[in-house]
Structure 1
Amino acid sequence: MKISKLKIKGYKSFGFTEVSLSLENKLTAFIGLNSAGKTTALEALKKLFGASLADRELTRQDFHIGKNENPETINERNLSIEVRIDFSEEEQDAVPHFFSEMVVDDEGKDPYLRIRLEASWNKSTLSPLGEIEVKTYFINVAEGEEDTDENKKIFPNHYRNLIQVLYVPAIRRPGEQLKYASGSILYRVLRKIKWDDEFKEEFDTKIAEVNDQFKRLPIFNTVQTSITNFWQKFHKDERYKDSSLEFGGSDFDSILKKLEISFSPTGTHKAFGVDDLGEGYRSLFYLTLVCSLLDIEEKLIENDDEEVIGQTSPLLTILAIEEPENHIAPQLLGRVTTILKTIAEKENSQVVMSSHTPSIVKRVEPESILHFRITQEYYTEVNKILLPKKTEEAYKYIKEAVQNYPEVYFARLVVIGEGDSEEVIFNRLMNVMDVDFDDNIITFAPLGHRFVNHIWKLLSTLNIPYITLLDLDTERDGGGWGRIKYALKQLLEIGINRDGLLSTTTGVLSDEVLNEMHTWELKGSINNLHAWINRLKEFDVFYSSPLDLDFLMLTHYPDFYKSAIPKGGGPQIPDKEENYEGFIKKLNTAIQATLKSENATAETYSEEEKELMIWYNYHFLGRGKPTTHIQTLASMPDKEIKNNIPPVFSEIFEKISIILKNSEV
């Protein structure tokens, strides 16, 4: 069994329009910023399949209230939580329990279950909290068909033992789960054991013998007599006049309630209890208890031994775990994720977890992730991670990209660049421009080199704004007009209107003309090239011009980059006056290396830019780019950076400010 779909309507941050969450894999991760609705979705499962009445109880606060609504004027509210449960061929043992309640979409399709909780709240003059009515049904029509009262059948209480949610809150209290109390993990484990009556009688006898031995001690009688005498002096009630000092628990059930676990060696001369552990180990031990419970239940189901099984195990346990990363060292998170995947692979369990840390998210398949965000109307929106089709070349690249840069999921704005230099430079320039990456949750991702349209589609689906900075690469192979063509075609791929994107003074570019754009001559058309660069800025695509970001920084801060050399280092440049031929040879070599062609002439570059290519060759082709930028930017005063900042960055920062202002919730 597997919950394949969760539908929520009117519950807490989920608004009046039903939101459908697709749980396609047996391990699903809910991700997003704080207060986006991840915990609410996990709790929705608990309200439907919680083991106790307390887990399933609804209150007035559980019903959604709109952004501009006054709670005092609301007279009634409704909510619903529904799941679709599918059955694999390996899990046919579960089918007989639910066969009469199954539905199918069409002939030949696999049957499935629909279970829905419906609740209503009404204002009441008798109770200040109002009246709440809750009912759980089997829905006996397929999805998409109209369901009426005739198509609903009450979900029997005895079925609740077959599907249960094990909810692990963000704050772990393993000590509570080690108590033999209803609802605890230990209780659920020990209830699986069919205790033999003869064993229990023998156990009780031995406990009584221990108490008798204790009472025979002379000093014990002194203590017991003293307590009894003073107790009787304090009151004269005949009902409680006698007191007896003995071990807490003189029968089998009482002893079970006092079971504890200890850890050793501890580096001290005493064992540690669970409350003596640090927060991290307590969190890990909580997960240990969960894993043990599911492992034991799976083995009992396999053995099906009536002699030892005292209670039927659920056919499906949904482990709903909140923030598995809490209190755990980063180097252990890989192990935690692996264990959760192992649990999900068990036939009798499914894992749904929430997280807002890249360390967890990068270890989960993108197809298993649901992205949560809170809208400007204060309701939860949920989207799948959109990837290219598996048959496309882009699939593997985009999948690896988002796994390597999971920070994009948690951003208010993503700046897409082409390499590591952009991140170093952006971080420094943001400080100068008083725009804090961290405070505004701005993420830089070097993902613009290939298939950038898929990154755009992904971010658009998640409603995360983005800005793209690409290299123009003028006079490099595929650069200049080739780079403009690339961006235009990528924008068309995501559905940008071609009339607005490709319009010119003579009409709209045809596909034939666009496909040949990369062959257009640069000489004499630089103004036209820059006109297209300006057009692309309207779609938040910017260019490091005329070459790349490294060259852009070098041309705006040449003295600082020329100073960023080790003692006795730097390019050996012949004196232009004394050795002109040597200088020209050095210059031509640098031009060819910079533009990556033996035939390069740099005809569209100024003389000053050509000479800077010698330094470009030294700094960025012979040394590490990020290292050079870090060293140079660290030596530059903020005032110098701000006074000579490249215009493209001023435009980008202005755009960032506009986007952040418009996206404020």
Structure 2
Amino acid sequence: MKISTIKIKGYKSFGPEPVVIPLQDKLAGFIGLNSAGKTSALEALRKLFGSSTMEREIYQSDFHIGKDEKPEDIVQRELSIETRIDFPSDDEDSIPHFFSDMVVDDEGESPYLRLRIEASWQKSELTPQGDIEVKTYFIKAAEGETEDTDSKKVFPNHLRSLIQILYVPAIRRPAEQLKYASGTILYRVLKKIKWNNEFKNDFDEKISEINEAFKGLAEFSIIQSSITTFWQKFHKDKRYKETSLGFEGSDFDAILKKMEISFNPTGTHKPFSVEELGEGYRSLFYLTLVCSLLDIEEKLSEDEDEDTIGITRPLLTILAIEEPENHIAPQLLGRVIKILKTIAEKENSQVLISSHTPAIIKRLDPKDILHFRITDDYETEVNPILLPEKTSEAYKYVKEAVHNYPEIYFARLVVIGEGDSEEVIFNRMMGVMDVDFDDNIISFAPLGHRFVNHIWKLLETLHIPYVTLLDLDIEREGGGWGRVKYALQQLIQIGVNKKKLLGIEGGILSDSELDKMHTWTLTNDDSIKNLNEWVNFLKRYNIFYSNPLDLDFLMLMHYPEFYKEAIPENGGPRIPDRSKKPKEFAEKVSSAKQATLKSEKASGETYSDDEIELMIWYHYHFLGRGKPATHIQVLSSMSDDEINGNLPLVFTEIFERISSILKKENGDEEN
């Protein structure tokens, strides 16, 4: 059995409308920025499945308060937390304990269970906290059906042990879980031991032997006598006249409370206690305890009768871990996730983790990730990660893309570029334009080439704004009009209004005209002007172009002298003298032009003579050497003033757009 859906309404940051959290598999990751509602979602499960009354307690502070509401004006509130629990349909021997309380959507479909906690708060003049009423129900109506009074059946307390949650908080205190006290991991483990009479008798005999040995010590006798003498001087009650100092064997709980764990060898000739471990190892040991508990319950239950399952161990244990990355070295995180995946595969376990670090998220399957964000109304919104269809060519690409750049999940804004050159250049431009990507939680992702519409669609789903810089690639295959056509088609794919997008003078660009756009020519000034008008139009949709070719060529055009100086000693392209060897010079230019435009038929007619000659240097720097290394070398040699002196206009436009988006996100500007 597993929880397939969590539905939360009116709880903490979850607003008055139900928020559905779908769980595709038995391991799920809750991600998002701080205070987005991840912890609240895990705590909501504790309210429903907590093993102690304290864990299940509902407080006034648990009820949602809206953005513009004043707490003193609120007189009543309601919240609900519901889970849908599905059962395996492929195991004929699986007889669920809750069979009579299950529902089905339709004939022949798999049954499932709906469990819901409903709480109401009423303002009271008598108690500061108000009056709170809490009920837990089986919901006997299928999802989507109208509920009435007969749809709810009170969930009996004796069934609570069948589904339990182990919550691992962000701050790990394993020593607390090693105490023999109700609700701790050690208590749950040691309760599995069967204390038979033979063991108890043997235990009592050994304790008696130890006590007799102590009493045989002269010093011990003096201590015992002194305590008794002074005790009798302080009172005259005959019931408590005598004292006895020793070890009691009859109270197992008292003995078990003294149990501790130690670690050795430590290199200090003495074992270490849990408290002496560093933060990282303490965190790992907490996870060790949880894993051991689940493993022990499984092993000790292997030979038990099927009828005892749900009595000797829960039917389902939910392992909810907050920020598993805390205090743990990055190289160990892969091992942690691998172990958690193994736990999730057990038939009686399910794992939920919350995180806001890419190091964890990149190790999870995107389909198992739920993205949490706070809306403009300060309410939690949860969205799954949207991927293309598995059968499509785009699926593998996008899945790998989000695996390699998980930072985009946590960004307030994503800048999408074509490749590594853009990342290097944007990192330098941050200082020039005085916009810190880290400070503003902006992520750069080189995902602007194939299937960019899926990246756009993903970010749209997560409500993360983005700015895209693409190459215009004029005179390259598919470049120029082909690049504009591509962007227009991608925008249509993500749902942009077609009439608004394709409006032209005198009407709307037809589907057939759009399909043929890549064949439009660039043979005169009017056609180039028309292309640039479309390029400027796409800026409305935060799509910008490195015009006329790519960003490498754009930087070379604006800072030619700096790039020409960035050569090793006795290095650089061998350029024949124009006046002395005109034929060889023309051949060199022609060869560089064909290499740069990636075609032997490229005419270069849309480029000026100076731009075509620069292609010699483009060929040398960006086709013969590493692009990022060249940009790093050049940009590090330039001052901010030198860069600003001839800054490509596209950077000014992009950073102005970034500033505008951030102001809008911060509420500094009208939507």
Q: Distance in 2 between matches of 1:377 and 1:307?
A: 50
Equivalent in the alignment of 1:285: 285
- Residues 122-521 of structure 1 aligned to structure 2 (within 5 Å): 122-229=122-229, 242-247=242-247, 251-304=251-304, 312-521=312-521
Asked if residue 564 in structure 1 is aligned to residue 595 in structure 2, the reply is no
Retained in 2: the 8 A contact 1:208–1:250?
no
Retained in 2: the 8 A contact 1:207–1:251?
no
Q: Secondary structure at the match of 2:372?
A: strand
Pair 653,307 (structure 1): closer, same or farther in 2 beyond 3 Å: closer
Equivalent in the alignment of 1:656: 658
Give the superposition deviation at 1:96: 4.0
Give the superposition deviation at 1:235: 6.8
Q: Distance in 2 between matches of 1:453 and 1:201?
A: 74
Equivalent in the alignment of 1:20: 20
Q: Secondary structure at the match of 2:98?
A: helix
Q: Distance in 1 between matches of 2:348 and 2:331?
A: 29
Pair 244,506 (structure 1): closer, same or farther in 2 beyond 3 Å: same
What is the TM-score with the length of structure 1 in the denominator? 0.97
Q: Distance in 2 between matches of 1:629 and 1:233?
A: 90
Equivalent in the alignment of 2:644: 642
Bigger drift between 210-219 and 541-550 goes to: 210-219
Give the superposition deviation at 1:241: 6.1
Deviations 1:568-608 (A, max 9, x none): 21112122222222221211111111111112221111111
Query: In the alignment, residue 653 of structure 2 is paired with which amino acid?
Result: E
What is the TM-score with the length of structure 2 in the denominator? 0.96
Give the superposition deviation at 1:295: 1.2
Give the superposition deviation at 1:253: 2.1
Deviations 1:27-79 (A, max 9, x none): 11100000000000000111000011111011110000011111111111110
Retained in 1: the 8 A contact 2:593–2:602?
yes
Give the superposition deviation at 1:225: 3.5
Asked if residue 584 in structure 1 is aligned to residue 586 in structure 2, the reply is yes
Asked if residue 551 in structure 1 is aligned to residue 553 in structure 2, the reply is yes
Query: In the alignment, residue 342 of structure 1 is paired with which amino acid?
Result: T
Equivalent in the alignment of 1:108: 108
Q: Distance in 2 between matches of 1:296 and 1:578?
A: 87
Q: Secondary structure at the match of 1:13?
A: coil
Asked if residue 614 in structure 1 is aligned to residue 620 in structure 2, the reply is no
Query: In the alignment, residue 20 of structure 1 is paired with which amino acid?
Result: V
Give the superposition deviation at 1:230: 5.2
Retained in 1: the 8 A contact 2:27–2:352?
yes
Q: Secondary structure at the match of 2:302?
A: helix
Pair 44,89 (structure 1): closer, same or farther in 2 beyond 3 Å: same
Pair 309,204 (structure 1): closer, same or farther in 2 beyond 3 Å: farther
Query: In the alignment, residue 123 of structure 1 is paired with which amino acid?
Result: K
Aligned length: 665
Give the superposition deviation at 1:236: 7.0
Q: Distance in 1 between matches of 2:310 and 2:108?
A: 39
Equivalent in the alignment of 2:544: 542
Equivalent in the alignment of 1:59: 59
Structure 1 unaligned regions, length at least 5? none
Deviations 1:130-163 (A, max 9, x none): 1111110000010011112221100011111111
Deviations 1:317-340 (A, max 9, x none): 111111111111100111111111
Retained in 1: the 8 A contact 2:37–2:372?
yes
Equivalent in the alignment of 1:119: 119
Retained in 2: the 8 A contact 1:204–1:252?
no
Give the superposition deviation at 1:232: 5.7
Q: Secondary structure at the match of 1:100?
A: helix
Pair 5,92 (structure 1): closer, same or farther in 2 beyond 3 Å: farther
Query: In the alignment, residue 631 of structure 1 is paired with which amino acid?
Result: Q
Give the superposition deviation at 1:311: 5.5
Q: Distance in 2 between matches of 1:283 and 1:72?
A: 41
Bigger drift between 499-508 and 429-438 goes to: 499-508
Q: Distance in 1 between matches of 2:89 and 2:285?
A: 34
Equivalent in the alignment of 1:530: 532
Q: Distance in 2 between matches of 1:94 and 1:53?
A: 30
Q: Distance in 1 between matches of 2:203 and 2:32?
A: 52
Retained in 2: the 8 A contact 1:300–1:309?
no
Q: Distance in 2 between matches of 1:102 and 1:542?
A: 55
Equivalent residue for 1:596, pick from 574, 595, 598: 598
Q: Distance in 2 between matches of 1:221 and 1:250?
A: 23
Q: Distance in 2 between matches of 1:225 and 1:266?
A: 41
Q: Secondary structure at the match of 1:97?
A: coil
Deviations 1:306-361 (A, max 9, x none): 99999610001111111111111100111111111111100000111101111110
Bigger drift between 547-556 and 501-510 goes to: 501-510
Give the superposition deviation at 1:517: 1.0
Q: Distance in 1 between matches of 2:123 and 2:144?
A: 32
Query: In the alignment, residue 588 of structure 2 is paired with which amino acid?
Result: K
Query: In the alignment, residue 517 of structure 2 is paired with which amino acid?
Result: M
Give the superposition deviation at 1:251: 3.4
Give the superposition deviation at 1:193: 2.0
Retained in 2: the 8 A contact 1:192–1:309?
no
Query: In the alignment, residue 260 of structure 2 is paired with which amino acid?
Result: E
Deviations 1:166-214 (A, max 9, x none): 1111111111111111001111111122211221232123113212211
Retained in 1: the 8 A contact 2:475–2:602?
yes
Query: In the alignment, residue 428 of structure 1 is paired with which amino acid?
Result: R
Query: In the alignment, residue 412 of structure 1 is paired with which amino acid?
Result: R
Give the superposition deviation at 1:261: 1.2
Bigger drift between 267-276 and 204-213 goes to: 204-213
Q: Secondary structure at the match of 1:79?
A: strand
Equivalent in the alignment of 2:630: 628
Query: In the alignment, residue 424 of structure 1 is paired with which amino acid?
Result: V
Percent identity for Structure 1 against Structure 2:
71
Q: Distance in 1 between matches of 2:384 and 2:76?
A: 32
Query: In the alignment, residue 344 of structure 2 is paired with which amino acid?
Result: A
Retained in 2: the 8 A contact 1:37–1:373?
yes
Q: Distance in 2 between matches of 1:578 and 1:250?
A: 109
Query: In the alignment, residue 609 of structure 2 is paired with which amino acid?
Result: E
Pair 421,19 (structure 1): closer, same or farther in 2 beyond 3 Å: same
Q: Distance in 2 between matches of 1:92 and 1:236?
A: 71
Q: Distance in 1 between matches of 2:10 and 2:362?
A: 32
Q: Secondary structure at the match of 1:302?
A: coil
Q: Distance in 2 between matches of 1:240 and 1:417?
A: 83
Q: Distance in 2 between matches of 1:225 and 1:630?
A: 84
Q: Distance in 2 between matches of 1:170 and 1:40?
A: 13
Give the superposition deviation at 1:500: 1.5
